[in-house]
Amino acid sequence: KQEVTQIPAALSVPEGENLVLNCSFTDSAIYNLQWFRQDPGKGLTSLLLIQSSQREQTSGRLNASLDKSSGRSTLYIAASQPGDSATYLCAATQGGANSKLTFGKGITLSVRP
Amino acid sequence: GAGVSQSPRYKVAKRGQDVALRCDPISGHVSLFWYQQALGQGPEFLTYFQNEAQLDKSGLPSDRFFAERPEGSVSTLKIQRTQQEDSAVYLCASSPSSRALGYGYTFGSGTRLTVV
């Protein structure tokens, strides 16, 4: 059974800092790995999706990498802003007929002005 | 509508009461998923529909949980005889793909269920 871990559970940084959020997974036979953002009281917004054949994806100030062999993914946020404050979740998809997502518990990020 | 709509946004139920949670997916979306998110946890898979067919219900925690999507659009998640451990946010997601494969998901804002 796939298990996804995100440590630490919370992170507080000053505005402007570059930061890395970590995600690890136990089953390397994933179809893809996805990072989501969740704001309080809101649903999840997909930020970046990395296919199993890819090593990284970039969108604006965000860069996500994937190392299947070591079971790890990172989300890099450049020049953090207070508006980046949210919970960031990673989720793995195993593929198959029902491609459900297996989520980590998330990292709650606070960017201080 | 433009997004996935879930109702009610909040529901308080007395222990033992039955509840029904509604999900209106994006029009034309084939795949529909239900997830349960307890406080401080990541979402956990409950069940998956492809059109009106429920292809996977392996995540439903007990036989008190039942989901349906009779016409392949709106879905209802029903919980019978609610218990305190059912308190969570219930998220619905839809995708235009028949396999979803993790992308193309649009999540609703969820229904926060509190059982007292």
A98 interaction partners in chain B (CB closer than 8 Å): 48, 55-56
> Quick one: closest CA in A to B39, which residue?
A105
Cβ contact A74:A23 at 8 Å: yes
Per-residue pLDDT band for A98 (boundaries 50, 70, 90) equals low
Task: State how far the Cα of B34 lies from the Cα of B21, in Å rounded to an integer.
Answer: 10
Q: Does the beta-carbon distance from A104 to B101 stay under 8 Å?
A: no
Token pair, residue A46, equals: 């997909």
Comparing CB atoms, the residue among B4, B42, B108 nearest residue A106 is B42
Task: Print burial letters for A51-62: b (CB count within 10 Å at least 16), e (below 16).
Answer: beeeeebeeeeb
**Shortest distance, CA B110 to any CA of chain A (angstroms):** 6
Q: Rounded to whole angstroms, what are the CA distances from A24 to A83, A87, B89, B102, B104?
A: 26, 17, 24, 17, 23
Q: What are phi and psi of A82, to 5 degrees?
A: -55, -30
Q: What is the pLDDT along chain B (116 residues), one digit of tens a residue?
A: 579 999 999 999 999 999 999 999 999 999 999 999 999 999 999 999 999 999 999 999 999 999 999 999 999 999 999 999 999 999 999 988 776 565 678 899 999 999 99
